[in-house]
Structure 1
Amino acid sequence: MKNLNDKILEKLTNILNLPILIYFWSEWCEICKISKNIISDIEIKFKNKIKIIKINIDYNYYTIEKFAIKNIPTIIIILNKKIIIKKQGLFDREFFKKLIKKIL
């Protein structure tokens, strides 16, 4: 799971044909520390089927505004350059597995 900046994220959303899961987080967020491990597990399970990108809200203001992020952790899934899911809060592994299988 890579930490990316605004410009790289914009390029990736334009060139990738895979679903993209964007995970918005911050180091000061306690819930983010829990969900970060879940996101890492999902990345391993669905490698080459979905691209997972970590965005630290403290350093990527353009992306935060673009996606109207108000709370963290928040996930957004983009498919074919369109947002298909935007959810905030803590989710368990089963939620992500079902969600990604549904998309694929």
Structure 2
Amino acid sequence: MKCCPPPAPIDESRDPDEEIAELAKALGHPMRVRILRILLEQEECMCGQICDQLPIAQSTVSQHLKVLREAGLIHGETDGPRTCYCADPNRIERLRTLLDRMTAALTA
């Protein structure tokens, strides 16, 4: 049973440069990239499971999760004392689309 909500719809009216900058900032730390990779590979994880795979304190993992969540790259669903996290595939695909558009001039 999935513990995360369905992916959020994408707001395509936003300025693409601002959106890329926001997403890049969220991914601007190697540990956040690693957390996102874990969530993409496992589809969903409890915070404790993520902590078990990383060489950092739980409080630091929580802070990184907060940044990724605020950027919309992940979602968290609270279930009692635990929070289940999952990547938002729509938001990650949006990042890919924005970067593809930005780099289209390279292949033209």
Q: Decide: shared fold, TM above 0.5.
A: no
Report the TM-score when normalising by structure 1. Answer: 0.26
Higher fraction of strand: 1
Computing the radius of gyration from Cα coordinates, the structure with the larger value is: 2
Report the TM-score when normalising by structure 2. Answer: 0.26
Higher fraction of helix: 2
